Amino acid sequence: MFWRAIAILALAATGVFAGLYFTGRGGSGVAAPCGEQRIFGHIRTLDRKNGRYLMHFDPALFTTGITANTAAAQDGVIPKGSAMPDDNYTVDESHRTYLYYVSPSAHVAVLTDTSNVLGNPVSVAQLAELVHGEAPVKLFEPLESGVWIEVHVDTVCDVAQQFHP
């Protein structure tokens, strides 16, 4: 009876782990679905090559509150004990870039004169034009304000420009 119970538990565990693996909802060693890896930073390049978009992305830390105040004071931007205007501070200690694929169907939102803080949708092709200094849409603030990307394994599936008041 004991060994039969162990066999049933092992079979059930195999089914659960297989389900997690094939749906991408597992833990270590299993790719996270889009949105579980969210990174702030700056797009350095975005080019279409061989039918795919490739992005060089420079990650940074977007800090707020006491974290922003302390980091800015440590960097000499504000005096110790002061508060950052607009309550945020970006820390970019290295300008190393990481290469990602960008899904052609990725959701992209940029800040335009007519958008709210959530931005207006544009295509990946239009985002590439913006990165290259072209103006398919008029931005409210430059892309250098930073963006949030959501990643699945090595592919960006969402890009949202960060508003800086």
Give residue limits of the domains in the chain.
1-30, 33-161
pLDDT, tens digit, 9 for 90 and up, residues 48-103: 998 899 999 999 999 999 999 999 999 999 999 999 998 999 999 999 999 999 99
pLDDT, tens digit, 9 for 90 and up, residues 21-53: 334 444 445 555 677 799 999 999 999 998 899
DSSP assigned state of 163: P
Sign of CA dihedral 113, 117, 120, 121: positive
121: pLDDT strictly greater than 50: yes
| Whole-number Å distance between alpha carbons of 35 and 82 | 34
| Whole-number Å distance between alpha carbons of 121 and 6 | 53
